[in-house]
Structure 1
Amino acid sequence: MKVNLSVVIITFNEELNIGRCLDSVAEIADEIVVVDSFSTDRTKEICLERGVKFVERIFDGYVTQKNFANSQSSFPHILSLDADEELTDELRQEIKVLKQNWNKDGYYLPRLTNYCGTWVQHGGWYPDKKLRLYDRRLGKWEGLLLHEEFKTTNPKSVGVLQSNLLHYSYHSIKQHLDQVNFFTEIALEEMKRRNKTTSVLTLLVKPPFKFLKMYFLQLGFLDGFAGFCISVISSYAVFVKYAKLYLYNKTRA
């Protein structure tokens, strides 16, 4: 089945990334929709320069924002991207062909992440398959506050593309550490909603296990210094998440 494709992106202060993302989809998009959370940088200006459909909406969570963004598209077949992502030439050509013969409810894309200038291929970061091509009528974004994912009504009718989606994650260790604090706050809210508890034993065991798993079992050491940093900071993030939960529960006791 031949389809028209809407590219849908949510943004907030993405002036460093959004131009690259938009340029990478210009060839294959029949429409580009950007839903922005009232950016204070040049995000809006960059988007309007490229003629996208630009909608502003207060951010109230990734799931609701992405489902709203889907509802703004003119076409049901969607490529959902983050502003810090970019299509490779190979993926662009693969999607061009797919548009002429779309025969699944959705398609996973393998995602290759750049960390502080290094392409990371181990430590559980690759292939980071994401369901980003889909028919919005056949599923929706689900999750609580974090780890949102698009789920189709028929998971068996999902294909996998071969070419990489590029993800420019962190430009510096400071940025990574800032995100740890941001995401662990969101994770804490999720755990509070689920009435989760934790213990000192968890704080002692889970962080080092996370490091050992990523750095050794998942071969993160093959990515050199980047792999080491990712493993250490990921372990630290586990500690921070459960430490925040431990203190929250302790104050309520």
Structure 2
Amino acid sequence: MLKVDLSPKISSKKMRVICPPPGKQVRHCKRSAQEAMYPSGRARRRGGFVVAGVFVYTQRFGFGARTRAQQASMRSALRTRGRLQPAFPSSSPSSSHREPAPMNDSAKPDAISVIVIVKNEAHDIRDCLASVHGWVDEIVVLDSGSTDGTQAICREFGATVVETDWPGFGPQKQRALDAARGPWILSLDADERVSPQLRDEILASVKSNGADLFRVPRQSNYCGKWIRHSGWSPDYVTRLFRRDAARFSNDLVHERVIAAPDARVGTLTQALIHYSFRDFSEVLGKIDSYSTYGATQGAARGKRGGLRKALLHGFWSFVRSWIIQRGFLDGKMGFVLAISNAEGTYYRYLKLMLLETQQSAAAKARDAAPESR
């Protein structure tokens, strides 16, 4: 992805400029091509194009060069003069980036520690860490048994990698929080990316002392489709906070950040990019694992399952996502998302019913054991 700097040396005949409709206010006129492709909820589709500020592109990649050699030469010359730059930093750490230094007890008050929990995330973790490398002070990764090279990738970015078991999402993130040493914590998942705009807002926010926790809007991609409705947008998550102002819940799944009673809560405006699911195989895998965690957690809290509850709650989950939260505006993928939400709820209550049956049978077996002896 490239940024194009419009200078007088480039003929305007080779450019087409798409501007927003008259009367529409544009908050940032100079927006990157990456932001234009993945807007934070403000852009809308007009005539097949994504309108997000001013999106400039060329009819020919080489600004008029007619051969591949001429195009390559032109791109090389423009890079040398600084007119073409990547919209996002390189996925690999470069010599211009500083490695996160080990934290000490006298860390600066606005130092930021990034925490990530992983297992076999080699397909995602590189882009995640590349989005924070060079501007945070510490990266802490808790790995629960990766076998795909995830740990090696994390160490390329200077991360502190801690190998551990898997107690569940909430307890694992609390472990990562305890291992971090910076006064500010930025909690990320491996499938999330911090955009340059969000980076700048984070750095300004930790210096302003305006709040102790910050809610961040999240823009999510579902199997290649950016979801604008369905309860996913706006999707505010608390990811930036002072380490002494919050902790993670003990939930096995769908963990929460619990703020201290006197903590001040703020809200950021720039979106956290979230690639939630790559394909339907991943969707099915998470439906299975998350419904198992949810059933186990529900049984521990005394919830009851059953076929009737599974059907009713599953149906309500679909209605809420597809109709109430306007998932129909997300097209066919909005419908698919509503179905997958319903499936997750349906199987959670079925698994809870099965757990109750198994626990009841085990209790009867224990009661019958003394009589048999």
Common fold, TM-score beyond 0.5?
Answer: yes
- Give per-residue Cα distances to partners, 1:96-139, cap 9 Å, x unaligned: 21232133111011111111111111110111111110111122
- Letter matched to residue 103 of structure 1: G
Indicate yes or no: 2:122 matched with 1:15.
Answer: yes
From the superposition, tell whether residues 155 and 244 of structure 1 become closer, same or farther in structure 2 (CA, over 3 Å): farther
Q: 1:143 aligns with which of 225, 250, 264?
A: 250
Structure 1 range deviating more: 100-109 or 114-123: 100-109
Which residue is 2:273 aligned to?
Answer: 166
- Letter matched to residue 124 of structure 2: N
Where do residues 121-132 of structure 1 align in structure 2 (5 Å cutoff)?
121-132=228-239
- Cα distance in 1 for residues equivalent to 2:262 and 2:145: 35
Normalising by structure 2, we get a TM-score of 0.65
- Cα distance in 2 for residues equivalent to 1:147 and 1:165: 18
Higher relative contact order (CA 8 A, sep 6+): 1
Indicate yes or no: 2:359 matched with 1:215.
Answer: no
Which residue is 1:109 aligned to?
Answer: 216
Where do residues 67-216 of structure 1 align in structure 2 (5 Å cutoff)?
67-154=174-261, 157-216=264-323
Indicate yes or no: 2:349 matched with 1:242.
Answer: yes
From the superposition, tell whether residues 101 and 2 of structure 1 become closer, same or farther in structure 2 (CA, over 3 Å): farther
- Give per-residue Cα distances to partners, 1:163-191, cap 9 Å, x unaligned: 00011111111210111111111111111
Structure 1 range deviating more: 15-24 or 61-70: 61-70
Indicate yes or no: 2:156 matched with 1:49.
Answer: yes
Deviation at 1:34, TM superposition (A): 1.1
Q: 1:5 aligns with which of 96, 112, 129?
A: 112
Indicate yes or no: 2:127 matched with 1:24.
Answer: no
- Cα distance in 1 for residues equivalent to 2:221 and 2:291: 22
**Which secondary structure does the structure 1 equivalent of 2:302 belong to?**
coil
Deviation at 1:143, TM superposition (A): 3.3
- Give per-residue Cα distances to partners, 1:70-99, cap 9 Å, x unaligned: 121121211010111001121111112123
- Give per-residue Cα distances to partners, 1:12-58, cap 9 Å, x unaligned: 11101111011101243011111111210111111111111121111
> Do the aligned residues in 1 keep the contact of 2:187 with 2:239 (CA within 8 Å)?
yes
After superposition, the CA RMSD in angstroms is 1.7
- Letter matched to residue 162 of structure 2: V
- Give per-residue Cα distances to partners, 1:204-229, cap 9 Å, x unaligned: 32212211111111111111121111
Larger helix fraction of residues: 1
- Cα distance in 1 for residues equivalent to 2:137 and 2:263: 27
- Cα distance in 2 for residues equivalent to 1:62 and 1:179: 13
> Do the aligned residues in 2 keep the contact of 1:141 with 1:151 (CA within 8 Å)?
yes
Indicate yes or no: 2:345 matched with 1:228.
Answer: no
From the superposition, tell whether residues 35 and 120 of structure 1 become closer, same or farther in structure 2 (CA, over 3 Å): same
Between the two proteins, what is the percent identity of the paired residues?
A: 35
> Do the aligned residues in 1 keep the contact of 2:211 with 2:263 (CA within 8 Å)?
no
Which residue is 1:64 aligned to?
Answer: 171
Unaligned runs of 5+ in 2: 1-107, 362-373
Structure 1 range deviating more: 182-191 or 149-158: 149-158
Deviation at 1:2, TM superposition (A): 5.4
- Letter matched to residue 86 of structure 1: R
> Do the aligned residues in 1 keep the contact of 2:188 with 2:239 (CA within 8 Å)?
yes
Deviation at 1:148, TM superposition (A): 0.8
Q: Greater CA radius of gyration, 1 or 2?
A: 2
**Which secondary structure does the structure 2 equivalent of 1:137 belong to?**
coil
Normalising by structure 1, we get a TM-score of 0.94
**Which secondary structure does the structure 1 equivalent of 2:131 belong to?**
helix
Unaligned runs of 5+ in 1: none
> Do the aligned residues in 1 keep the contact of 2:306 with 2:352 (CA within 8 Å)?
no
- Cα distance in 1 for residues equivalent to 2:323 and 2:207: 43
- Cα distance in 1 for residues equivalent to 2:214 and 2:268: 7
